[in-house]
Amino acid sequence: MAIIVQKFGGTSVGTPERIMNVAKRVIEERANGNEVAVVVSAMGKTTDELVALAKAITSSPSKREMDMLLTTGEQVTISLLSMALQALGQEAVSFTGWQAGIQTEAVHGNARILGIDPSSVKKTLEAGKVAVVAGFQGITEAGDITTLGRGGSDTTAVALASALKAARCDIYTDVTGVFTTDPRFVKNARKLLSISYDEMLELANLGAGVLHPRAVEFAKNYGIPLVVRSSMSKEAGTIIEEEASMEENLIVRGVAFEDRITRVSVMGLSESLTGLPSIFAALAKNSINVDIIIQNVTGEGTANLSFSIKTEDLERTIEVLETSRNTLGYDRIETETGLSKVSIVGSGMVSNPGVAAQMFNVLANNGIQVKMVSTSEIKVSVVIDDKFMVHAVETLHDAFSLAGSSVRS
């Protein structure tokens, strides 16, 4: 008898009717002869509503109390799903994150899982019951409740699957799998029947919202096969594993994109090597993620440094840089907003030179100016004007022959 971990997101459990539908999916998996642990998110927009309640009280709520508040959303779902399972004749026990033994670092709002003691969940499964676990939450060594940040329920599910030595982890969403790009923007996007951990990790990091990067990283590190599938249909999903089969031998497997990007340029830095680490250390200390980085030496004993950030971080970035201006020794800061990042991803790039050149040619032929570039073995990212984002995605999707019916990558 194998252990299967199933994860259902907020849309999948958004109403009592959908919770009953989830209960039936869980019972179907039990009928296959498997033990089942279920990880759930808060219902629908519950988390947003709880955040709004906090903001109605104060504009700067304590991070600790926000975690106390937000974790109640998942507690509602685990109770209701357990009731639904029981109403259908399946014994079930609900667990908060801390009852499930999920231990995290002492960081409120974006904690990382340090370890899981699955003994209580395991006993429940061995007794023939379904364990229903709250995602997105855990507890510190000191006994404080924490949340895991955006996509935390995905991470909970994969970490629990690892701790339970599960055969696989099924991530149920409102889409039928992982697509070559977002089908809401590109109508001829097609579903991938399989994809490698590395490719999925790049897509997730580059803006594909179907899975959180931390969850994919966890799955890769512990060898947990993932399946992304729809909670609304029985259609086969996308398998994420170490080595996806290369049936169609696609060089590029997907196009990811992300809007609200800003370019920050720090002008007139000393050419000495101390400026760069000082800038990025200061930004990292303030939890500001820097993406694409370009440095230009001016020939006058100074250098200009440009990097991309999320636009939501711009105010804090400027504040950090201005606070450290005397230490960093720069002349001025210039910024450019209204940008987007578009990326192509595929492990086939490793053995196929010229992919980046083809990408740049496609963009140039469509009058799209590239402002910044970043590459790795399996991806090429460019920063462009936001007004060209969708057009760039569509043209690249066509140029690399990604349109059509579902493909096994």
Query: In the chain, what are the domains?
Result: 3-174 (3.40.1160.10), 255-404 (3.30.2130.10)
Contact 198, 378 (CB under 8 A): yes
Burial class (CB in 10 A: 0-12, 13-18, 19+), 349: buried
Taking all residues of the chain, what is their mean pLDDT, rounded to a whole number?
A: 93
Sign of the alpha-carbon dihedral angle for 357, 363, 367, 372: negative
**35: enclosing H helix or E strand:** strand 35-40
Q: Is the pLDDT of residue 405 over 60?
A: no
Per DSSP, 233 falls in state -
- Among 261, 263, 266, 354, CA closest to 305: 266
Please identify which residue in the block is written with the tokens 């019972």: 27
Average pLDDT over every residue of 269-287 = 79
- Among 16, 134, 150, 130, CA closest to 74: 134
Q: For the chain, give the percent of residues with pLDDT over 90.
A: 81
Summarize pLDDT for 166-206 with one digit per residue, the tens. Answer: 999 999 998 899 999 999 999 999 999 999 999 999 999 89
CA distances from residue 222 to 117, 164, 242 in whole angstroms, order as listed: 16, 12, 11
Cα–Cα distance for residue pair 391/401, rounded to 1 Å: 16
Summarize pLDDT for 24-53 with one digit per residue, the tens. Answer: 999 999 999 999 999 999 999 999 999 999
Q: Is the pLDDT of residue 248 over 60?
A: no
Choose the most confident range, by mean pLDDT, from 129-133, 192-196, 266-270.
129-133
- pLDDT given at position 236: 92
Per-residue tokens: 1: 């008898």
Summarize pLDDT for 199-228 with one digit per residue, the tens. Answer: 999 999 898 888 989 999 999 999 999 999
Tell me the DSSP string of 299-363: SSSEEEEEEEEEGGGHHHHHHHHHHTHHHHT-SEEEEEEEEEEEEEE-GGGGG-TTHHHHHHHHH
- pLDDT given at position 269: 86
Residue 274 binned pLDDT confidence (cut-offs 50, 70, 90): low
Summarize pLDDT for 294-320 with one digit per residue, the tens. Answer: 988 877 778 899 999 999 999 999 999
- pLDDT given at position 270: 77
| 1 Cβ neighbours under 8 A, 6+ residues apart | 33, 34, 35
Per-residue tokens: 80: 């209701």
Q: Is the pLDDT of residue 245 over 70?
A: no
Q: Is the pLDDT of residue 409 over 50?
A: no
Contact 79, 133 (CB under 8 A): no
Q: Is the pLDDT of residue 147 over 50?
A: yes
Residue 267 binned pLDDT confidence (cut-offs 50, 70, 90): very high
- Among 187, 141, 84, 98, CA closest to 397: 187
The model's pTM is 0.86
Summarize pLDDT for 324-368 with one digit per residue, the tens. Answer: 888 888 899 999 999 999 999 998 898 888 999 999 999 999 999
Q: Is the pLDDT of residue 247 over 50?
A: no
Per-residue tokens: 258: 């992300």
Q: Is the pLDDT of residue 278 over 60?
A: yes
